[in-house]
Structure 1
Amino acid sequence: MQTIPRPSKFSLLAVICIAALGLGLRAGTAQEVTLSAPNAPEAVIDRLRRDALLLRQGDEADVRSGADITAAARADYGRLIGVLYEAGFFAPVISIRLDGREASEISPLSPPARVARVEIIVQTGAPFRLGQAQIAPLARDTDLPVGFATGQPANTALLRDATQAALLGWQNIGHANAALSHQRIVAQNRDAVLDVDIGLAPGPVIRFGDLLPMGQVRMQPARIAAIAGLPSGEIYSPTALNRAEARLRDTGAFGAVALSLAPAKGDNSADVTAIVEEAPLRRLGFGAELASDAGIQLSAYWLHRNLFGGAERLRFDLAIAGIDDIQSGDKIDTTLSARFDRPATFGPDTALSLEAETVILREPSYRIEGARIAGGLTHRLSDQITLSGGLGLEFSRIEDGLGRRDLTRLTLPLGLIVDRRDAVLDARRGSYLAAELEGFGLFGASSGARITLDGRRYWPLGAGRATRLAARGQIGGMIGADLADIPPDDLFFSGGAGTVRGQPYRSLGAMQSGLASGGRGFLGLSAELRHDLGESRFGLVGFADLGGISAEAWDIDGTTWHSGAGIGLRYTTPFGPIRVDLATPTSGTAAGRDLFVYIGIGQAF
């Protein structure tokens, strides 16, 4: 057995001294890094600071060695030149000194053991302008950037955009494999002029072949092809390829989708490979919202994404609203629904839906117990425009000021959505319009129609996207039908989170036939000023809402108004902003009396 000798006092002292020396050397390796870029625009300096590896802040305990510093410095020559080329400076002089020595002159095989001082000195030189600016040949209707012309400021981003636009011009008319044939870029440093001569090789016109699915497990290949709707036999188009990929992604049955063009065959056709990864079959979700005037709303759903192997969706939803007096249950509303969706039913852009729903609504002025079955079709005209139509049968048992009665009616809902927002969950620019017309006929009674419009617009303010203005307008009208033949929840009320924050929930209605009820006309206006707080996930919102109800549709003179205003806090998450709003009445019968709280997920609109 080997015996380990006990260390002497001298050896222990030596170990402690060596360790202390090592710690001292490590503590002394903190580097001082400076950047000097005289005459450079502030935006360029900021970009240089962001991109320089030497200026990146790491963990204080992770001190970089001399070898690390040398490697970062050698890489930063190229990184900083790239930044300057992007800004239009094509004759820069960059010096990176490590303790006074130029980094490019230090051998990577024998770097210094430590570096105490790093100096980055950038001389941008004069900004360049385009001299010769030529890309040829160009396809018809090619839209080159406006700045790609002699005498205009030159930068690599402009050259890249111009090249991509020229290639896309050929691809848009079927030349899928268009590529560069030559590229000559000459910088005349003395005159600060950049001459550009780019040649293109369009290649042959390509036609779409077959869609070849790969990676599917439960999905039927024939259904993947039907949903994608690839126009086989037609001339190649990047728009058609992107649309086919979007159709597959929009089903929700796939976690990932990627379409790519295979090499062309002898007949100048090319198959398309569709690599898919199926999403989990089932999903369970929950949600909650709180409004101090309407109580708590809880919701839950169960979803099957691929019921029969063709991306069919079956979803069950349960919603319980108005939970503010759980013991009596007098104000609790309950909705239970089931919905089946089948994409690509009568073509790749047309989906079929079947739905069944039961509701119990307990409002202060009425009570409804009802059931509904419906079927419909949704057709996407484009990425931004969607049409819908259907047929439904409803049964309602109603108790209100007119007494107790049963209504049975046939409904014909029609809808149009034009969505040009940049993001659904938190739009920062763009617009949204939803129009609905639901005609209904009652068995043995009068018929009518309900019309609604919901328009939204978003504007970024200033150079960045941190501050933006959001506005919303809502219009509603009920035409035809006697009051007794209209379910009370089809009439219009104002007040609460969806209309006027700061007013009690559904507090504004109208007098019809001597009875307090909802109105046949509604007008709502909302505005929000949204601002992100620096780089954090938090944001502030200031808002104002206005709502009006009239006894008759489109009767502005007979409209009664109320309004509310307040402030809100937003916290950004992957599933949408968490919203907390505080609002108070500013006009109407409740003005100045109460403070209302609204908590939910997603922007108010």
Structure 2
Amino acid sequence: MTGTHIGRFGKHVLAGASFLAMAQVGAAAAQDAGVPYDRAGPQAADSADADPLPVPAPPADVTLPEVETIISDEEFAESIPDLNAESDPALDMPLESIAEFERRLAEEQAGAQPEMGEDAPLGDPALADGDAVEEIGDAPVRDAELTAPLPPISAFEVEPVEFAEGEEDTEVTEVSYEIALNGIDEIDAETDVNIRDMFNDLSALRSDGRTANNVAQVSARLTEDSVLIERILASEGWFGASVETRIDRSDVADGQPLTAVIDVTPGQRYEFAEIVIDAEPTTPPDLIRENLPLAVGEPIVATRVQGAEANVAVALPHNGYPFAAVGQRDILLAAETGDGVYTLPVDTGPRAVFGGIETTGDLAFDAEHVAVLARFERGELYDSDMVDDLRQALVATGLFNTVSVEPQRTGEDAGTVEGGPAEYATVLVEQDAGPPRTIAGSAGYGTGQGARVEATWTHRNLFPPEGALIARAIAGTQEQGAGVTFRRSNAGRRDRTFEIVAEALRSDFDAFEALTGRLAARVNYDSTSIWQKPLTYAYGVQLLGTIEEDYDFDLGELRRRTFGIAGLTGQVGLDSTKSLLDPTSGFRVTALIEPEASVQDSFDTYVRARLAASAYYPATDSIVLAARVAAGTIQGIDRFDLAPSRRFYAGGGGSVRGFGFQELGPKVEVPNPNFDPEDPDETADPFRFRPLGGLSFNELAVEARYRFGNFGVVGFVDAGQVYLDSVPDFSGLRYGVGLGGRFYTNFGPLRLDVAMPIDKQPGESSVAVYVSIGQAF
């Protein structure tokens, strides 16, 4: 725009100069003729008020040429008519507008040619209507072809396009090539960095099997890989590397593929010469430096720098600085020396301790119950691990769509804590409660236990906070029943559960048949996947009414008996392992004691006790040796006076593998109710062996677990027996051996064990298969 404006201004200047020259020439001519010349025109000279135009004399050294007079001024003045308002009044009238002019012109033309024909204005009939604004649609169509109907498609003669011979079947010739990466072998040999492997993992040249559609594609990949190798070298400290590329065609004539060559000159590797931390003082003073694992003299490696900074970002909130922020690093490189000065700015924010707990949003429960789940107390130094733990515990309740836990500054002084000043930080929990009701189901099959289907309906927060009502139903070949449970999770303490159970079950196992009603209350404090505890406990009370079928040796037959049982339960456990489902080191010990009273034909009191222990030893990084021992005793009652469901049994996947469920121990041969003597095609045995249970038992097991990646193999030997006496004597042990497979997932191993009994007895299976989640023990 500026250039345009300047150009227009120049034209006006030139026009003015020409006008001035003409005026000067005219004035000179008038002066020579004796006629007064005025800038206002010849008529102005007649006025008394007119100012004569001063005309300077020509220079003395200039002689003006003689100009012959063509017509005198008098003759010229006489020939020009006198123009004034009297002679022509239109001279004083204002000019009409352009729009008015165009309208008048249209009216005159319409009046002159009222009919639209060939004499219309400009030869166009559309202008004869006098309308100054015309539309194309107003004009008639004179070409008859434009109004004629279109011919049908079938009337068109379309000839197919003819391609050049072989054009349709042209094949794309692929270009094969080799890759030569020169100049990095010395780096790989002298350092712990393998540049070639990193390049091979990301190289564009190595894609598509080292073939390309054309040489241009090879060249493009070569350019891309030259940038790649520069970035790889820079990430490992070679910031000044020089990379050149070329395509070598020297061997193409011999039938060999061309070669994409990358020549690398790494140059010097830069090292840390100084490490500077730009931050306010911390408590303790070396908190940031101790958690920044970089050292002067080591190469400047990108992954090391990023990992070190991430470690600082984690360590500060873990040690009382919840609002810390790691800034953008600065590394100043000196090409002359190969040194780098590393500066890390850190905004530590205030040092903080835990203050109160607040909660907002759609609440599943209030802040008081949130405090029950927290593993920190007010005034303790802030630890981000405890905040993460609280978040996980809230998620584990299953009551939220989303939940977040974040620290909030309060500015409230907390005094001196662990050697340094601090302020309180509020823990803000934002809740979005989810649907509390769920329906779940499970199905399975087990040898000795048959098919089993279980369905549950749960309202997890019917009685806030975390007061759940659970209804369940069981349908199976050997077990049927229904029950209802009230469960208060995190009852006054995290991971402590209080529950009341009422249920009715019908059981039909090889060992016993029973129709049982049960009412029980229990408090337990257990480990979870979030918080595995070294000490756990449980205690409770239960009432049982059961009708059970038992073998009466005096009568030599099975008969039904009714028992009323009341009892207490107490259990304690010690655990030094690090995993509930896949322990690899440490030990576990669990002790259970149940004093009970039974009413059948008489009133009897007795005590059931059980002790189990297991240990785990990592022989190598991939091999774990595991062992388990368990024993139990019932004191104060004879076996026949004890309800069959309260006796001890052994055998099965969680007991002695190689045997069926509850198969070990004393047995009695009884008629098989499924045998039909009148069926000629009957294949079932006429008799079957019924386990009687005992007053004591023992179990032993050893395993060698070998893991490779996400898979594992286990070899094991199990042993055990059930005894009629109340004290196990470790005689008559039965053994089972087998192999197992493991598939390790993020929640635990999936287990498949196949075992066989040693010295198989009548009625026992040759092979037993067990499938479950977690190790056998």
Instruction: Judge which range, 173-182 or 125-134, deviates more.
Output: 125-134
Supply the distance in 2 between the matched residues of 1:31 and 1:371 (Cα, whole angstroms): 80
Displacement of 1:361: 2.9
Q: Residue 569 of structure 2 is aligned with which of 412, 429, 436?
A: 412
Q: Report what 1:527 is aligned to.
A: 703
Give secondary structure in 2 for the equivalent of 1:447: strand
Distance 1:431 1:529, change over 3 A: same
Give secondary structure in 2 for the equivalent of 1:242: helix
Q: Report what 2:185 is aligned to.
A: 38
Unaligned runs of at least 5 residues, structure 2: 1-149, 249-257, 414-422, 553-558, 669-690
Q: Residue 384 of structure 1 is aligned with which of 532, 535, 541?
A: 532
1:595 aligns with 2:741: no
Distance 1:359 1:125, change over 3 A: farther
1:544 aligns with 2:716: yes
Contact 2:649 2:664 in 1 (8 A): yes
Displacement of 1:483: 3.4
Q: Residue 80 of structure 1 is aligned with which of 232, 236, 255?
A: 232
Q: Percent identity?
A: 19
Q: Report what 2:663 is aligned to.
A: 507
Displacement of 1:226: 4.6
Q: Residue 8 of structure 1 is aligned with which of 135, 147, 159?
A: 159
Contact 1:128 1:154 in 2 (8 A): yes
Equivalences for residues 114-153 of structure 1 within 5 A: 139-140=283-284, 144=290
Give secondary structure in 1 for the equivalent of 2:733: strand
Unaligned runs of at least 5 residues, structure 1: 101-115, 324-331
Displacement of 1:522: 2.0
Give secondary structure in 2 for the equivalent of 1:246: helix
Contact 1:511 1:519 in 2 (8 A): no
1:104-127 deviation per Cα after TM superposition (whole angstroms, max 9, x unaligned): xxxxxxxxxxxx976667788899
Give secondary structure in 2 for the equivalent of 1:174: coil
Q: Report what 2:549 is aligned to.
A: 399
Supply the distance in 2 between the matched residues of 1:264 and 1:256 (Cα, whole angstroms): 25
1:405-442 deviation per Cα after TM superposition (whole angstroms, max 9, x unaligned): 413112223343647445x56x3755673624233231
Q: Report what 1:204 is aligned to.
A: 350
Give secondary structure in 2 for the equivalent of 1:435: strand
Contact 2:205 2:221 in 1 (8 A): no
Distance 1:305 1:274, change over 3 A: same
Relative contact order higher in (CA < 8 Å, ≥ 6 apart) = 1
Supply the distance in 1 between the matched residues of 2:764 and 2:696 (Cα, whole angstroms): 28
Supply the distance in 1 between the matched residues of 2:756 and 2:637 (Cα, whole angstroms): 36
Supply the distance in 2 between the matched residues of 1:309 and 1:190 (Cα, whole angstroms): 71
Instruction: Judge which range, 238-247 or 45-54, deviates more.
Output: 45-54
Contact 2:205 2:218 in 1 (8 A): no
Supply the distance in 1 between the matched residues of 2:576 and 2:565 (Cα, whole angstroms): 34
Contact 2:651 2:663 in 1 (8 A): yes
Instruction: Judge which range, 54-63 or 488-497, deviates more.
Output: 54-63
Amino acid paired to 2:568: T
Displacement of 1:397: 3.3
Instruction: Judge which range, 237-246 or 168-177, deviates more.
Output: 168-177
Contact 1:355 1:374 in 2 (8 A): yes
Displacement of 1:453: 2.5
Instruction: Judge which range, 371-380 or 566-575, deviates more.
Output: 566-575
1:216-244 deviation per Cα after TM superposition (whole angstroms, max 9, x unaligned): 3x624447635544745654221331222
Contact 1:290 1:597 in 2 (8 A): no
Displacement of 1:181: 7.4
Supply the distance in 1 between the matched residues of 2:212 and 2:744 (Cα, whole angstroms): 31
Q: Residue 260 of structure 1 is aligned with which of 393, 396, 406?
A: 406
Contact 1:145 1:158 in 2 (8 A): no
Amino acid paired to 2:204: L
Displacement of 1:66: 8.4
1:52-88 deviation per Cα after TM superposition (whole angstroms, max 9, x unaligned): 2637868999999789958965874576358x54xxx
1:175 aligns with 2:351: no
Distance 1:68 1:276, change over 3 A: farther
Amino acid paired to 1:305: R
Distance 1:228 1:555, change over 3 A: closer
Displacement of 1:245: 1.0
1:225 aligns with 2:357: no
Contact 1:472 1:527 in 2 (8 A): yes
Q: Residue 375 of structure 1 is aligned with which of 521, 524, 533?
A: 521
Q: Residue 504 of structure 2 is aligned with which of 358, 374, 397?
A: 358
1:566 aligns with 2:738: yes
Give secondary structure in 1 for the equivalent of 2:651: coil
Contact 1:586 1:592 in 2 (8 A): no
Supply the distance in 2 between the matched residues of 1:98 and 1:283 (Cα, whole angstroms): 66
Displacement of 1:493: 2.8
Contact 2:199 2:232 in 1 (8 A): no
Distance 1:158 1:59, change over 3 A: closer
Give secondary structure in 2 for the equivalent of 1:517: coil
Displacement of 1:15: 12
Amino acid paired to 2:612: L
1:482 aligns with 2:641: no
Amino acid paired to 1:447: Y
Whose radius of gyration is greater, 1 or 2? 2
Contact 2:223 2:245 in 1 (8 A): no
1:186-214 deviation per Cα after TM superposition (whole angstroms, max 9, x unaligned): 77899998876767554322244554545
Give secondary structure in 2 for the equivalent of 1:203: coil
- RMSD across aligned C-alpha pairs, in angstroms? 5.2
Contact 1:334 1:359 in 2 (8 A): yes
Size of the alignment, in residue pairs? 560
Contact 1:475 1:524 in 2 (8 A): yes
Amino acid paired to 2:385: T
1:455 aligns with 2:614: yes
Q: Report what 2:392 is aligned to.
A: 246
Displacement of 1:548: 1.8
Give me the TM-score of the superposition, normalised by structure 1.
0.72
Q: Report what 2:678 is aligned to.
A: none
1:300 aligns with 2:476: no
Equivalences for residues 147-162 of structure 1 within 5 A: none
1:172-197 deviation per Cα after TM superposition (whole angstroms, max 9, x unaligned): 44222234579666778999988767
Amino acid paired to 2:407: L
1:581 aligns with 2:753: yes
Contact 1:494 1:549 in 2 (8 A): yes
1:433 aligns with 2:588: yes
Contact 2:695 2:727 in 1 (8 A): no
